[in-house]
Structure 1
Amino acid sequence: METKKKRQMVCPVQMAGLLDNRLRRLIQNPKKLLEPYIQDGMTILDVGCGPGFFSIEMAKMLTHTGKVIAADLQEGMLDIVKRKILGTELEARIELHKCAEDKIGISEKVDFVIAFYMVHEVSNQESLFRELKSILKPNGKIYIIEPKFHVSKNSFEKMKDKTTELGFQIAETPKFVFSRAVVLTIN
């Protein structure tokens, strides 16, 4: 019963087209949003990657070395990313990873994590943050962006408080249209 409840909270594969379109690119431009954080050679985790809106753009920013781990709970979302990158140079820079219901499940250390509009979908956020902390390299960053229409200011503040209790430090609180955002590092 609980599994059904969790799955209902996750944006369904049928909505993937709404997550990757021209209007969204104007409002939530991946290059503008992420370029200050991405450097060649990085290992990047896009947790809850959906149809690859950010994964593909970050992989393009890695011009010589590095990779993006596009992780999602839904095989259908990963299939969409796979179709988009099939036969392109991005295929070598994007690693697809299916998460378990309650765990990302990667052991590789990463330099940067983006969690875009997905933390509110996770039932055990403390567990998520503990796992992210365990895979983040020293000086690594986690960029969390949550939608104002799903996450109240109070809920977002509680989430930030939980991250600091777990040993994260707030590096920045970027302003982002229709959203609440924070960039975390490890203390």
Structure 2
Amino acid sequence: MADGVGLLRSCRAAVRAALFNWRALRDAVSVLERLDVREGNVVADIGSGGGFFAFEVARLAGPTGRVFAVDVDEGLLGCLARQARRRGITNVSFLHSAPEGPTLPRESFDLLFMRNVFHHLADPVAFLRRIAPALKGAGRLAVVEWKPRRRSLWRHSTDEALIRFSAEMARFSLIESYAFLKDQSFSVFGRR
């Protein structure tokens, strides 16, 4: 019975991962270009979901780079770890996070990437303050988030002004904002 429950959870995680990855495909090339990941970079994909961006960023960072796929869902992380093994991807680590934010090594990351995560944060300012020390001096925080819509069934969105305000309160400053995503905001911040 316990094995059956584990298998069912694993299958559900795999289905969710596939759904997240299908959604990530739209505009992915444009997002990846603007993330400007380079050979040897160390990146945290916070809220890695189905792993699409974690695996693509790992490819861009190359064998000397490292990606940390970070998520609160252990089932998804297990699914991603199995995918990585099957695909021979060796430069991705998987890190389970508490909802209030992951504990990341100080001054270790060139980029912290959050896609469709902000609306889940109970205290965005505290979350950003918790992850900020993980950035290297010139490191960046990139946030892609659903824009609010009048008829949104799930209300999974955050106004871009709230994202910017939260980032400023956590001692980040806006570097760039992109408008090419139809239903999402895309902001890149640096530490002050």
TM-score (norm. length: structure 1): 0.83
Match of 1:158 in 2: 162
- Output one character per residue of 1:139-185: Cα deviation in whole Å (capped at 9) or x when no partner: 11111011124335xx3202211211322110000122310111000
1:186 to 150, 168, 191: 191
Residue in 1 aligned with 2:18?
A: 17
Cα 1:24/1:69, change in 2 over 3 Å? closer
Q: Distance in 1 between matches of 2:86 and 2:121?
A: 33
Q: Which moved more, 1:93-102 or 1:142-151?
A: 142-151
Structure 1: how far apart are the matches of 2:109 and 2:189? 14
> Which residue in the other structure is 1:65 paired with?
64
SS at match of 1:20: helix
Instruction: Tell me the secondary structure at the aligned position of residue 178 of structure 2.
Output: coil
Moved over 4 A (4+): none
Deviation at 1:38, TM superposition (A): 0.1
Unaligned runs of 5+ in 2: 1-11, 150-155
Kept after mapping to 2: 8 A contact 1:35/1:61: no
Gaps of 5+ in 1: 1-11
Shift of 1:24: 4.2
2:45–2:67 CA contact under 8 A, matched in 1: yes
State how 1:1-187 maps to structure 2 within 5 Å.
13=13, 15-21=16-22, 24-25=24-25, 27-29=26-28, 31-36=29-34, 37-90=36-89, 92-108=90-106, 109-148=108-147, 149=149, 150-151=156-157, 155-175=159-179, 176-187=181-192
Q: When the two structures are superposed, what TM-score results if normalisation uses the length of structure 2?
A: 0.81
Shift of 1:34: 1.6
Going from structure 1 to structure 2, the CA distance change for 1:78 and 1:135 (only over 3 Å counts) comes to: same
Q: CA RMSD in A?
A: 1.9
Residues 66 and 92 of structure 2 are in contact (CA less than 8 Å); yes or no, is this contact kept in structure 1?
A: yes
